[in-house]
A and B are shown apart, each in its own frame.
Chain A
Amino acid sequence: MAIAQIVSSCMGGVRTAGDLVAWMQLTRRMKIDQAKAYVAQKLDVSVRDLTDETVMARKREECGISSVIPDHVEYTGIAAKARIARLLDIPIRSVALFHKNLNG
C-alpha cells in the first residue's frame, strides 16, 4: 500500500527532496506548495528539480544530506540531519540533543 502511494504520488524521500519538504510541513506547518518553494530556494534549485533524481542526487551529495546510495557514510543519519537543520533553518529535536551531548 505505502509503496504504491510513494511511487504514484509522493516525492521520493532521500531519493529526491521529499524528506526536506516533509521537515518543512512538520516544523513550520507549511502547505505543500509553500514547503516546496522554501526548500527549492534554500537548495538554489527550481521547484521542478525537487523531484528530479539526477539533480537531487548531485545536490544531496554536495550538501552532505544523505541519499539512497550514501557513499559518504558520515553524511547519513544524525550527521545528515544536523546539516538539514542548518540548511533549512529549522529545529530538529534529535539534532539539538545530539549537539548538547557533544558539547555538554
Chain B
Amino acid sequence: MTPIITSLGDGRKIDLTPDELRKDIVQGSETAARKGKIDGLTDADIDHMVDIFSQPGRTVSVERGKEVVVTDDGAGLMPSWGRPSAGHAIPISDHQSILMYERVYCGDTCGLGFPDYSYKPVKSAIGYARSHYKAISMLTTIPLVYGSQPNMGMYYHPTGPVESPSEYLSAFQFDKAKQVQEQAAEHMRRDIMDVAEGLYEVGCEAMNLDTTGSAGDADFWGCLNVVEDMKAKMPDMPVEMGMAGEMVMGMHGELTYDGQRLAGMFPHDQACVAAKAGVDVFGIAVNSETGKSTPYNLARTVTFTKAAAKASPIPVHANSGMGVGGMPMTLVPPIGDSTRCAKALVEIGKADGL
C-alpha cells in the first residue's frame, strides 16, 4: 500500500496509511466540533479531504470555477528588503515588490504595511506610511490594503503606558487587571483611528486589522469599537479583520459586544460580531498543533471555517500560513501542504477567500 506523505505540525515529514489519515481527519473535525459546539464534517467532506491528501501529485488545486480571491498580511512585500522581519532581503523597493506581486505573481489584492507591523509604531511614522501608501496606490490596479496588527500587548509596561495586567492577575487583583486592560484597549483604539484617518486622507482603499485579539478579549473589544468609529467617519473605506486564533482568550472575561461575551468566542460568532461592527471581510484564524499531523490540523480548521462561512453575513477569508489554517509551524511552508490546505479550505470549508 502506498503511504501518504504529509507533515506534522512542526514541519517534519511523516508517512500515514489510509486508515491513519482518515482517523486523523475525523479526530480533528470532532475536536473542533466539540470545542466550538458546531457541526463536524460530513462523511462526504471527510472522503473529500482523504482524497485531497491521497492525490499523488506534489501539489493540488481547486476545481475550475471554484477559485477564490486572496488577501494577505504583507505577502506582496515579502521579496523586498523593506520588510526586515521575514523578507527575502532582495534589494528592491516596496514599490517594485508590490508591482511584481500584482503583475507577475498575480495576487488579487496586495497588503502594504510598516516594517514594525503594529499600529502603535505606525502612528509615530504616519508621514512615512502616508507617503508610501499614496505613491504606491497611484501605480497599483489591484486593491491596496494597509495592514498592521492591533497588538494591544504593546500598550503595557515596559514598552507602553499602561501597567501590565499579569502583575494584578498573579496578585488576585482582578478588578484592577480588568481596568488596565480596558485602558490599553482605549489607547489602541485611538492609535488605530489616528492611523486610519491619516491614511484615509491620502486615499486608503482598505485597511486590515491583522491578528486581532492577540492580547485577549479586550484586544478584540477595542478593535470592534474602533471599526465602529472608522465606519462612522469613513464609511467608504473597507475594513478587513483577521483574527489571532480560533478562540478569543478571556484575559478580561467580562467584556461584551452587541450583548455577547467576547471571551471564549469561536469563529462563527466572531464573524457575526465583526460584521455587526462594520467589518467587510472577516479572516478566520485557526492555530495548528505542532505535535499533530497536518490532516488533523486542517480538519480542525476546515470544520471551524465551514461553520463560520455558513453563519457569516460577510465574506470569510481563511488565514493559511505558518502555524495557522492547517499549515505546519515552519518558516518555509511545504507547497504540498500549502496547496492541500488551500483546496480544502475553499472546497470543503467554503471560504470566500484566503
Q: Which residues of A contact B (CB under 8 A)?
A: 1-16, 18-19, 21-23, 25-27, 29-32, 35, 47-48, 51, 65-66, 68-70, 76-78, 80-81, 84, 91-98
Contact = CB atoms under 8 A, between A and B. Distances in A.
Given A27-B238, A93-B200, A93-B205, A5 B320 contact: yes
A25 B354 CA distance: 12
B195 interface: no
12 contacts: A2-B105, A4-B338, A8-B59, A8-B61, A13-B109, A13-B142, A18-B142, A19-B143, A23-B143, A30-B315, A31-B314, A93-B236
Nearest to B342: A9
Nearest to A97: B203
Contact of A11 (B69, B138, B338): B69
A12 B314 contact: no
Contact of A22 (B75, B142, B314, B333): B142
Contact of A5 (B141, B204, B339): B339
Contact of B280 (A9, A25, A78): A25
A95 B72 CA distance: 22
Contacts of B321: 1
The contact size tier of chain B is: 35 or more
Nearest to A94: B203
B68 A6 contact: no
B203 A93 contact: yes
Contact of B238 (A4, A26, A68): A26
A68 B68 contact: no
B108 to A, nearest CB: 3
B141 A65 contact: yes
Contact of B315 (A3, A10, A25, A47): A25
B62 A8 contact: yes
A76 B99 CA distance: 11
Interface string B226-265: 0000000000111010000000000000000000000000
Nearest to A65: B141
B106 A6 contact: yes
A10 B69 contact: yes
Contacts of B353: 10, 22, 25, 32
A4 B65 contact: no
B139 interface: yes
A25 B283 CA distance: 13
A95 B206 CA distance: 13
Contacts of A21: 69, 108
B201 to A, nearest CB: 8
A13 B102 contact: yes
A11 B346 CA distance: 12
A12 B352 contact: no
Contacts of A76: 139, 141
B34 interface: no
